[in-house]
Amino acid sequence: MTDGAGVTDGTGVIDGVTADGARLLPYGDDAVLVELDEPGAVRAVDAALRAARPPGVVDVVPAARTVLVRGAARTRSRWAAQVRERVRAATRDADEGGLPAPVRTVEVPVVYDGQDLAEVAALTRRSADEVVARHLAGGPQGYRVAFGGFMPGFAYVVGLDPVLHVPRRASPRTRVPAGAVAVANEYTAVYPAATPGGWRLLGTTTVRMFDPDRGRDGAALLTPGDAVRFVRAAPSPVLAAARTARAESLDPRPAGAAEPGAPVPAAAGAGREPAPVASPAPDAAPHRALTVLTPGPLTLVQDGGRAGLADVGVPRSGAADPDAARRANRLVGNARDAPLLEVVLGGLVLAFGATTAIALTGARAPARLDGAPVAHGTAVRVPAGAALVLDAPARGLRTWVAVRGGVDVPPVLGSCAHDQLSGLGPAPLRPGDVLAYGTAFDGLPDPGDAGDAADAGAAAPPAGPSVVDLPVVDGPRLGRLDEPGRSALWRTVWTVTPASNRVAVRLDGPPLTRGDDTELASEGVVAGAVQVPHDGRPVLFGPDHPVTGGYPVVAVLTGEGRARVAQLRPGDRVRLVRVPSPVV
């Protein structure tokens, strides 16, 4: 049975059970969740959508029993109807035994020196040698990558010999090294980076599972649909030393991050050491740059984010309120998603080397340019040598600062955004950083001495009530809550906890109760998803959210709701307000 309502709107997309057995559930304003009965159908649907991706579709994220399809919100009815037709054909082929053949086979050399090898042997009542042999051989159909998630490059590989289906450790390790080869339940996987984790460790590999330097198409070694072959490798002191060094120097996960299957770390911090912000080359015009004198509590470079990489565990990231960032860019004549600064609680001081223009949107942080007040929501001329001072806003959390031409930093996987979950992108700004002004123009006239480019919609959030209303639509798993739980979801006034950031905002209040407490297999999630973990307190996913999760998504924030969440501070009180779901 599905959690959906079983309603059709005449477009060919059904919120509930379709004629061919697949279920398509609306998911926020820009996604649908395809719910399937078994993993073979998931592989077939995933392969079909990748082979003939409907126009407008951005991400296809397979999981254990679902495929999340995300795309352009404005054209969702059109592309979702095409998705349904591809699902119908793919599931029919899967029923007839026509599962897609793997496009490629990836070999992963393994040294079977894992800390849990003896324990797995005891749990399965086999010798350690037999455990190794069974892991090398896999099941009768071989190993296939089912889906990604948890962290960039982490691949859930199916096909494990059923004898090796062992549970996770009761107490997760605080640190699993990069390259650890592990098993848990029906999956085997390789940890791409050092992180806490509770899977059983059988061995190690020196193969790098995720490397942004390989580019968008090759960053993740394993992608959904790949065949995998584990091969035994001999221990090597040299390789062991290299593996240890890499684990210590390249850690793309936040400290204290959760293990696979957890919805989000309690408080994500700095991950793998992000690339420092580059200074202009000596032969460049150094005057056409800004210098960070004081970065404030946290100032990040953001842009439109990394679309299209969710299937390998990379969230979109980008500005926490994309509309506010785009308004700032539009005011100074930039391309809509040009890199700009996202400033948390003010405190930023910048010195400009050349005449330019800036615009501020988001939280109304009092701003001064060489002592003169700077208005929000309008383009402002900045003379060469001027200093901008941004104080803390009285309300709200984030202010966006756009500079004419965009700040010029090296992109990582096609984006200049800093991602707090994975650590991808430029590091948070530090005193002394120098950022050149780029060339991210869209052809609009230079605002120059402009005060005439004001944008009435660019104002920061107005003074709000004591409780902030967050509009949401029903999530695909709302039915997992019982009736009292659903009622409490809408009537409770929640409090924002300090364990909140760009990855997720955690709420505190009376725990919600579930009517269906059976384990939910991991499935794709989107920015704005409202997830309810075992403690019953909602988690609101932000732009740096993990791409899959194992707890029910009971609601999804609208675009307006996500913009309001971007301005929440610890201690703020919020209420989830149910609004009609957009027509699919």
Nearest to 583 by CA among 171, 102, 147, 10: 10
**Residues 177, 73 within the same domain:** no
**Residues 323, 347 within the same domain:** yes
Domain total of the chain: 4
44 close to 91: Cβ distance less than 8 angstroms? yes
Find the range with the poorest average confidence among 434-448, 460-474, 512-526: 434-448
Structure-model confidence comparison of residues 2 and 167, the more confident one: 167
The residue among 74, 95, 116 that closes a domain is 95
Digit-coded pLDDT (tens) for 244-268: 554 444 344 433 344 444 444 433 3
**Residues 74, 110 within the same domain:** no
115 close to 279: Cβ distance less than 8 angstroms? no
pLDDT computed for residue 35 by the predictor: 94
**Residues 28, 76 within the same domain:** yes
125 close to 43: Cβ distance less than 8 angstroms? no
Find the range with the poorest average confidence among 233-237, 361-365, 391-395, 556-560: 233-237
Average pLDDT, the chain: 85
- Cβ-in-10-Å burial (0-12, 13-18, 19+) of 96 comes to exposed
Cα separation, 493 vs 415, whole angstroms = 37
CATH number of 43's domain: 3.30.1360.40
The token duo for 55 is 């126009």
Digit-coded pLDDT (tens) for 325-341: 999 999 999 999 999 99
In a domain, 410, yes or no: yes
In a domain, 133, yes or no: yes
pLDDT computed for residue 84 by the predictor: 93
Residue 102 DSSP symbol? P
Digit-coded pLDDT (tens) for 95-143: 655 556 667 999 999 999 999 999 999 999 999 999 999 999 998 889 9
**Residues 294, 174 within the same domain:** no
pLDDT computed for residue 75 by the predictor: 92
558 close to 582: Cβ distance less than 8 angstroms? no
Q: How confident is the model at residue 1 (pLDDT cuts 50, 70, 90)?
A: very low
pLDDT computed for residue 145 by the predictor: 92
pLDDT computed for residue 180 by the predictor: 97
pLDDT computed for residue 171 by the predictor: 85
pLDDT computed for residue 103 by the predictor: 72
**Residues 64, 164 within the same domain:** no
Q: Roughly what angle, to the nearest 10 degrees, separates helices 76-95 and 39-51?
A: 130
The residue among 64, 95, 126 that closes a domain is 95
pLDDT computed for residue 170 by the predictor: 86
Digit-coded pLDDT (tens) for 357-372: 999 999 999 999 999 9
State the SS3 of 215-258.
CCCCCECCCCCCEEEEEECCCCHHHHHHHHHHHHHCCCCCCCCC
In a domain, 262, yes or no: no
**Residue 272: is its pLDDT beyond 70?**
no
Cα separation, 552 vs 519, whole angstroms = 9
**Residues 350, 477 within the same domain:** no
Cα separation, 247 vs 399, whole angstroms = 35
**Residues 167, 46 within the same domain:** no
**Residue 450: is its pLDDT beyond 50?**
no
**Residues 25, 70 within the same domain:** yes
Per the structure, the complete domain to which residue 130 belongs is given by: 105-249
Q: What is the mean pLDDT of residues 189-199?
A: 92
pLDDT computed for residue 217 by the predictor: 87
Q: What is the mean pLDDT of residues 343-353?
A: 97
In a domain, 15, yes or no: yes
Q: What is the mean pLDDT of residues 69-80?
A: 93
Q: Roughly what angle, to the nearest 10 degrees, separates helices 117-124 and 128-137?
A: 90
pLDDT computed for residue 7 by the predictor: 34
197 close to 151: Cβ distance less than 8 angstroms? no
The residue among 458, 477, 510 that closes a domain is 458
Q: How confident is the model at residue 8 (pLDDT cuts 50, 70, 90)?
A: very low
Nearest to 258 by CA among 536, 546, 502, 507: 546
String of DSSP letters for 105-146: EEEEEEB---TTHHHHHHHHTS-HHHHHHHHHH-STT-EEEE
Q: How confident is the model at residue 451 (pLDDT cuts 50, 70, 90)?
A: very low
**Residues 389, 442 within the same domain:** yes
String of DSSP letters for 424-452: -SBPPP-TT-EEEE---B-SPPP-TT-SS
Q: What is the mean pLDDT of residues 410-418?
A: 95
